[in-house]
Amino acid sequence: MPEAFDKVPFRVLLTGAALALAAAAFVAVKAARDNSTRTDIAIKITGGDPDRAPQLFRRYGCAGCHTIPGIPGADGQTGAPLTALSKRLYIAGVLQNSPDNLVAWIVSPHRFSPQTAMPETGITEQEAKDLAAYLYAHGS
């Protein structure tokens, strides 16, 4: 194998390595831009602040029942995983997936599904908007 490299001009190897690095950088920048765009959209459609969500997930016990992307220790198995929420058609199987419905569900789940195991936590509407913004921003 080393003999094959001896026959390839160093400039060709260097160019190949540079192209590979450029491609990796392009993918990284695109992913960062996509994440930024997704977050901007999530903020606009929910009126929430996703940066406040990690603390709220812990305060209200969401992390004990749900698996939540990007939240250390949020690996609960009682409730549905909250991964890829932005791609789902329904919330909890009962509401069309929309920002307003997600916020309403978080604030008052028994209003929509009286037998749900999800508790009424006392969360405010603004806090629910913050959680919704996070879930839509990180729900790829």
Instruction: Convert the pLDDT of each residue in 10-63 to its tens digit.
Output: 555 445 554 444 444 333 334 445 678 889 999 999 999 999 999 999 999 999
Say what the pLDDT of residue 11 is. Answer: 58
Question: Can you give the pTM of this predicted structure?
Answer: 0.76
SS3 121: coil
- Sign of the alpha-carbon torsion through 34, 75, 65, 128: negative
| Residue 96 β-bridge partners | 90
Instruction: Convert the pLDDT of each residue in 116-140 to its tens digit.
Output: 999 999 999 999 999 999 999 986 6
Report the CATH superfamily, name and number, of domain 2-137: Cytochrome c-like domain (1.10.760.10)
Q: Using the predicted structure, report yes or no on whether residue 3 has a pLDDT greater than 90.
A: no
Q: Which is nearest to 106 in space by CA: 82, 83, 129?
A: 129
The residue written with tokens 């812990």 in the block is 58
The residue written with tokens 């549905």 in the block is 80
Query: Who contacts 39 (Cβ-Cβ below 8 Å, separation ≥6)?
Result: 50, 133, 137
